Structure 1
Amino acid sequence: MSFSHDHVGLSVTPEDLDATVEWYVSKLGFTVDQQFDSHGTTFVYLVSGDVKIELLAGASHRQLPIPDVLTSMDPARLHHFCIAVEDLDATVSALRDLGVALIGGPMAVAAIGQRIAFVTDNLGNIIEFAEPGTWPAGRPG
């Protein structure tokens, strides 16, 4: 078997769909690639470079409490998704200029040879930004 990443799917309420699309467009520069309704759910695909996020808004979604962001390791939910960036400092600066607050970092993680930082979107989903680094010997880069 061989795999490559396709997209991350995030559930939102129908009431939060437009605000969530606007957040990703205005704060992270994503564009709407597709939007359609199927089986009682509205699907919106957002893209930026080779990163794709699928927003799913259906009537049956229930609101869950926002976790204690970086410390929550609840196995019943997505903890975060990660977007690779060329320059973490430039990304953090641009995010701050757009009013996006960091919830963690920037920090160096020596074990993987990367610098990372974290934010949350308008719904509390955690997004990690990772700057390329040199992986330790024996680890893929």
Structure 2
Amino acid sequence: MTLAGMTFTFSHDHVGITVTREDLDATIAWYSRTLGLAVEQRFEAHGTTFVFLTAGDVRIELVAGASDRGAPPTDDVLTSMHTSRLHHFCLAVADLDAALSRLRALDVPLIGGPMEIPATGRRIAFVTDNVGTVIELTEPGT
């Protein structure tokens, strides 16, 4: 079979987020405190620190090596599309309202939503982590 005729089978492994060395420990603490992720692995390679955070089948890789923070944090999902950053990643939750209530109790600001998306049959909302990474939360439709 030629390469052009190959079929790939994919499953999701992780999302990588670049943070500064100065923000690394605070970012680990933020994901642990607010989303319940735990450090699975931390190691150094090529002058960079890599930290894998996990909860269930969710894996986030924090990559700390740069000192430039890139795009500034945002407080509005509609104006957050800056080319120097990952725009967002999405986490599915069973109950969007309960998740948002917990995050509000932890002083995590909502930057968009909640809103219904008829095209996908889902409700979504957006928050940011401590360094401005946009996180979409989605609740499957009924």
TM-score category of the 2 structures, normalised to the smaller one: 0.7 to 0.9
Tell me which residue corresponds to 2:5: none
- Give the letter for the 1:88 counterpart: L
Tell me which residue corresponds to 1:65: 71
Q: How many residues were matched structurally?
A: 133
Structure 1-normalised TM-score?
A: 0.88
**1:82 is the counterpart of 2:90:** yes
Q: Distance in 1 between matches of 2:69 and 2:105?
A: 30
Q: Distance in 2 between matches of 1:26 and 1:77?
A: 23
Q: Distance in 2 between matches of 1:74 and 1:121?
A: 16
Structure 2-normalised TM-score?
A: 0.87
**Percentage identity across aligned positions?**
60
Gaps of 5+ in 1: 135-141
Q: Distance in 1 between matches of 2:83 and 2:19?
A: 19
Correspondent of 1:11 among 7, 18, 24: 18
Correspondent of 2:108 among 94, 100, 103: 100
Q: 1:14 to 1:24 in 2, by over 3 A?
A: same
Tell me which residue corresponds to 1:139: none
Gaps of 5+ in 2: 1-7
Q: Distance in 1 between matches of 2:95 and 2:87?
A: 23
Correspondent of 2:34 among 23, 27, 32: 27
Moved over 6 A (4+): none
SS of the equivalent of 1:91 reads helix
Tell me which residue corresponds to 2:126: 118
